[in-house]
Amino acid sequence: MKIMELKKELVSYVIFGILTTVVNIVVYYLFGDILGVNYVISNIIAWFLSVLFAYVTNRIWVFESKNDNILKEVVLFFGGRAFSGVVDTLLMVLFIEVLLVGDFVSKIIIQVIVVILNYVISKLIVFK
């Protein structure tokens, strides 16, 4: 991969990663703080809706996938995101229940970790 292509991919990934993170945090806030839903349930809902957004943006604009086997790609993408979703939720419990970090601060810190993990999975497994 050429340097310019890699830069474009990384910039696109960062932009859409930020937007995906915003979707995740806004949905988490809406369900948790506005609707009073438990933080674990709010986190799962936020994860699911942000993954839908992420798949479309990653396929079309970040990795510009031309893969004809969309079903395999979708399964790999959602499988990778399910893995990072479990990591996300377990880290939320660790940060909030064990480390006693506030839920919103925990959410922001953990999302940085999740964005990096998701790039690696997408680049090396899903859209290779």
Q: Taking the domains of the chain in order of start, what are their residue ranges? A: 3-126
Residue 1 confidence (pLDDT): 67
CB 10 within 8 A of CB 1: no
Specify the pTM.
0.74
Residue type for 114, please? Answer: V
pLDDT at residue number 115: 83
**Which residues of the chain are under the pLDDT cut of 50?**
none
What are the structure tokens assigned to 128, written together?
């290779």
Measured N-to-C along each axis, helices 70-93 and 103-121 cross at an angle, to the nearest 10 degrees, of 150
